[in-house]
Structures are given as C-alpha cells and as structure tokens.
Amino acid sequence: MEVVKLNNISRFFSLGNSQVNALKNVNLSVNKGEFLVLKGSSGSGKSTLLNIIGAMDEASTGEVEIAGKPLNKLSDAKKSKIRQKHIGFIFQSFNLLPVLTALENVQYPLSLQGDKNSKNKAIKALAQVGLADFIHHRPNQLSGGQMQRVAIARALVTQPDIILADEPTANLDSVTAKSIMELMKQLNQQGITFIFATHHEFVLTQASRIIELKDGQIMHDKQKAAA
C-alpha cells in the first residue's frame, strides 16, 4: 500500500533575480512499512523533499499524495488535518515545547485532534520509548537523547501513516544516536513507515531503501533487504 506518492514534482525558489531549482521532476512512491533514507550532500534537496511530503511546503509543479489523499489543492486547514492524522515529525533539534512537560508535549498533537483519551495514550507512548519515569519532566530537565525519545513518542502517539525524521540523530552522541535508531527500527518493525533525511552511517545500514539525491534529482534508488 502506497503511503506517499510523488508524481513529477519540482520546487523552485526565487533568489533575487535568479531561480533555484531545489527539486527537479522527482517521482517517488513509498509503501507502508518502509524504512527509507534520503541521503545526499547539503543542498541536495533532502529537507525540501521531506517538507513537501510533510505538507509543510508546496511543490511548484507535480502532484503529491499522502495516504491516498492528494495535497495539491487542499486548503491550509485541510493540510493541517493531514499532518495531524497521517504524519509524525521528528526534528534534529527535537522542537519540544519548553513550557510543557514530556507528557504534555506528547499529549499536544492528540489535543489538536480533540482526543479525550490523550493522557493515557501519551503515557503509553512515553512508556514505549522508555520514558515512563520522566513524564513530568520539562524539556530542560531531560538529556538530548531523552528529548529525542519524547519527540519520537510525540510523533507516534497519533498512530500516523508515516514518520518523517530530518537528521534525528545529528544532535546526539553516537551511543545515544544508536539507541534512538534502534528504537525507531523497532517501531518500524511494528509497521510504522519511516522516512529519514540523514548522513549518519548507522542509519544507512538500517535502511530498507536508500534514495540518493543530488542537485534536486534522484540519482539512485536502492532497495535493500531488511537489516
């Protein structure tokens, strides 16, 4: 089952009088349960592609479908609903809300959906990432690895179709990065689709599929047997 379908998408940015082509005629199809890594040098278009898949940016041309829903002509409010229900995000800088506890950070996306059982679901998600004892800690009371675990719990608590992770291990030491990757791999084995943008070698070894981008174009699309 396809959870992401990109049909000939391009993304142009205007930079003064010139135009920068961040993505050029990209076609991509991602199936449920994939552990896909986007690799490429800085400026290759990884983040732009993730943003478009995550309904946070719009393709200049081409068509985007997430979980069978076309994004192209959707209003901003409807795109927000797509992000709420179908997409989870894990960011390089964790991006937790500093005023909320770990539990509240995980509850927040559920509260946007009006979920009345958000507390129990959030506690369960935090337990799933090994933070059952830290639910009342604020982000500034957690280590980098713990913050990223909270971010993972926040991403998976809504049971999305895809989790997008932009350099999720870049701000972590190698030991913590490895444990975070192992956690995500475990979640992937439970059926959650992951799409990463990363340089991290360990992540590449875990990927079921690696797509290499260069100058906004897919250079290689390599399917691997599960690691």
Q: Which residues bind another protein (CB under 8 A)?
A: 47, 51, 54, 56-57, 76-77, 80-81, 83-85, 89, 91, 93, 95-100, 104, 107-109, 111-114, 154
Least CB distance from residue 9 to another protein, whole Å? 15
Locus of tokens 């990463």: 196
Burial of 106 (0-12, 13-18, 19+ CB in 10 A): buried
Look at strands 162-166 and 87-90 and give their pairing: parallel
3-state secondary structure of 187: helix
Least CB distance from residue 212 to another protein, whole Å? 22
Closest CA to 169 of 134, 207, 138, 202: 202
Q: Residue 100 or 204: which CB sits closer to another protein?
A: 100
Q: Which helix (H) or strand (E) holds 220?
A: strand 217-223
Q: Which helix (H) or strand (E) holds 95?
A: none
Q: Residue 162 or 210: which CB sits closer to another protein?
A: 162
Least CB distance from residue 152 to another protein, whole Å? 13
List the structure tokens of 115. Answer: 């979920």
Least CB distance from residue 197 to another protein, whole Å? 13
Other beta carbons within 10 Å of 27: 12
Least CB distance from residue 81 to another protein, whole Å? 7
Q: What is the DSSP letter of 80?
A: H
